A = this chain, B = another copy of it.
Amino acid sequence: MGAINYSALSSAELNGLYLELQGRFDEYKNRKLSLDMSRGKPCSEQLDLSLGMLDAIGSNDSLKTKDGSDSRNYGGLDGIAEAKELFAKILEVSMNEIIIGGNSSLALMHDTISRAMVHGLYSSKAPWGKLPVVKFLCPSPGYDRHFAICELFGIEMIPVEMLPDGPNMDQVERFVREDAGVRGIWCVPKYSNPDGITYSDEVVDRLASMETKAEDFTIFWDDAYTVHHLTDNPDRLKNMLAACKAAGNPDRVLIFSSTSKISFSGSGISVMAGSENNLNYFRKQLAVQSIGPDKINQLRHVRFFKDTDHIKAHMEKHAAIIKPKFDTVFSILEAGLSGRQIAEWNKPNGGYFISLNTLDGCAREVVSMASEAGVTLTKAGATFPYGKDPRNRNIRIAPTFPTPAELKTAIEILCLCVQLVSIRKLLADKG
């Protein structure tokens, strides 16, 4: 068909096109496929890259940490020194500004919100649970699990527009300056989920220095994709803790990260970074919650990854596996959707997602139609607070987990669905 601008077609032409595309869609449907593209999960080949970690600590290896303590026993509340050292380098903070957690940075974030509700944060005058209302700014599209935490704790979510260099800072600055109820913001500042955007230096500086009405306004800085580059020319993110310190707001940010998409998704290690004031406050509460995270697994990670150079090399192997998958998606989207004025998508330099925007009002129908043909996508709306995409247009594509063949089929089906639903919309608009 070539790249025809659909809105320039007549109703008759659109109907003809629709029938042809519908026939192709039905063929796919008859194949009774079952392809899951819903979550940003590494594929099996990616997980194989870390298999050597399982041999990094055997019964004949020393289980002593650098400081001579036995990693097998109790203790080590906030992590072993060598794990802190490694993460401190990755996140460009000092060793005292790091807490190592269990296998889930999501749990660190959830638990931080939970502590804020019950006990308050370091800078809080009162626990959030005692306040009349707690609100979070949610740059959207964003990460659905952040939004789920807010829902669980009854935190009101305020969507903020995402621009090509991060959240719309004019909106952000106004909300935090005027509304004391606004206590936090969720950020995935590098290769954002799902847009793949990295915040500009200006956005970082404005977040760090803006005037906030709430005394304990906190930036939840989910640096999940900090070393997850897809190109040789990776994005660079300005150091947020340093920016907050420079702006005189050292306690404003909590940084989260993990190895879930570096080593094993279920068996990685997580990390929280922030000012010593913030972390010492949490350490006191952590001491009541647990006697410390799994130190053998920390040792396993440190012995396998050694240093930041090895992690860089390891991430290049990940990229070698998943970059072609991203490219597959781009070329199919290009062939199926470009020039037709019915969809737009980003081309990130890293991370795990491709964010596809359809014509307004079409996303839910596209996802549901894809599902009829056996392709499970992230639920439409999931990338917005309360699952409500105001323009009903954003679809998150997670290309890493499927095999290349599955991915190709799934994206072909997705393209067909976008075309079909768009044509229906254009026809309806014509009346």
Residues of A within 8 A of B (CB): 39, 41-42, 44, 47, 50-52, 54-55, 57-59, 61, 63, 70-76, 102-104, 106-107, 110-111, 114, 117-119, 129, 145, 148-149, 151-153, 260, 264-267, 285, 288-297
Contact = CB atoms under 8 A, between A and B. Distances in A.
Given A264-B296, A296-B267, A73 B41 contact: yes
A76 B153 contact: no
B59 A57 contact: no
A74 B152 contact: no
Complex copy number for this chain: 2
B118 A289 contact: no
Contacts of A103: 102, 290, 293-294
A118 B267 contact: no
Nearest to A295: B266
Contacts of A71: 266-267
B266 A104 contact: no
24 contacts: A39-B74, A50-B72, A51-B59, A54-B57, A54-B61, A71-B266, A73-B265, A73-B266, A74-B266, A75-B266, A102-B102, A102-B293, A104-B289, A104-B291, A106-B289, A107-B289, A107-B290, A111-B111, A129-B129, A148-B288, A265-B291, A267-B296, A267-B297, A294-B294
A157 B44 CA distance: 50
Nearest to A101: B102
Nearest to A59: B51
Contacts of A72: 47, 50, 264-267
Given A117-B118, A285-B152, A294-B102, A59 B55 contact: yes
A61 B71 CA distance: 24
Contacts of A106: 289-291
A70 B266 CA distance: 10
A81 B119 CA distance: 36
Contacts of A42: 73
Contacts of A285: 152
A103 B36 CA distance: 31
Contacts of A102: 102-103, 293-294
Contact of A118 (B74, B129, B264, B294): B129
A42 B75 CA distance: 12
